[in-house]
Structure 1
Amino acid sequence: MVWVGLSANGPTKPIVIEPKAKICSSYYVNKVLKPFLRDVKKLYPSNDYIFHQDSAPAHRAKATLLILREQNVSFIKLEQWLPSSPDCTPCDYFLWGYLKSQVNTRNIRTLCGLQKAVQNEFKKYPNH
């Protein structure tokens, strides 16, 4: 599994989730959200973005929302979320399928190889 932030200013670094990891709020905050928050500062130094995540339990956990508030991250709340919207969730409707098709053309045998392949594909993503 891979996590990435996607924006008009470019993608964040992809984060590969450890195999068989249980994605609880602690794992999500420490292994995904905190690295994302460091990386997104390069794309949005003025902090002028709105963070959108889906309704996965780790995303809506109190600890997750607390970190977002403590870091002054503007985010779309669960009740504002627009499910099944290609405009609001381009990763679900385009990116993951496209990325999978590109990576599956390679003969990858290791997790490290998968990480490199995913990173190489994201380097091709145009920055605006």
Structure 2
Amino acid sequence: MVWGMVSYQAFSTLHILPQKETINAKYYVDEILEGPCIQALRRTDENGGILERKMIPDMSKAIFMQDGAPAHTARKTQDWCRQNLPGFWEKQKWPGNSPDLNPIENIWSIVQDKIDKMKPAVNVNDLEKMLKNAWSSIDPDILERLYLGMPMRVQKCIELSGEYIGK
């Protein structure tokens, strides 16, 4: 399992779940939300690299979204998010096909394409390095284009009553 967070101008660092570790609400809150999520949201550098610059200029205008994984929808997680993320949308707010609306789904596809072009990993450490390399090498302009396309995707989702929108 790999966790990452994106905004229109930056990425968090990737969190790669250790082998044989199980993701549950406690792990998710303690190791991911309290770790790379908060670290990324606290950045202040306006001009650093994609993994160093400020994620969001104004947290009051940000929306924090996640999918319906059990660790994301658990009461512990929902409570933590409500208390720590001003723009958190609870699980009931997203339509069933919310991956259509989440720009990170496009980013995961780009990461996969980059990995597919690399020499196959021979062990877990190689795969982790490949993932981190692919993640950190994404052009920041792609992020901006994905976020500029949000209004169109939201409108299409509304028109289709929350059904799959395709692209």
Percent of aligned positions that are identical: 25
Q: Is residue 16–residue 115 contact of structure 1 (8 Å, CA) maintained in 2?
A: yes
Aligned length: 127
2:67 paired with 1:54: yes
Change (3 A) 1:71 1:98: same
Cα distance in 1 between the residues matched to 2:84 and 2:92: 21
The TM-score with structure 2 as length reference comes to: 0.66
The TM-score with structure 1 as length reference comes to: 0.82
Deviations 1:16-40 (A, max 9, x none): 1122321110111112111212212
Determine helix, strand or coil for the equivalent of 1:69: helix
Deviations 1:56-113 (A, max 9, x none): 1110111112212222432111111123245512333x23233223213323223332
Between the two structures, name the one with larger relative contact order (CA 8 Å, sep ≥ 6). 1
Q: CA RMSD in A?
A: 2.1
Alignment match, 1:98: 110
Stretches of structure 2 lacking an aligned partner (at least 5 in a row): 44-54, 145-167
Q: What one-letter code is carried by the residue in structure 1 that aligns with 2:94?
A: W
Change (3 A) 1:73 1:109: farther
Stretches of structure 1 lacking an aligned partner (at least 5 in a row): none
Please identify runs of 4+ aligned residues in structure 1 that moved more than 6 A: none
| Structure ranking higher in strand proportion | 1
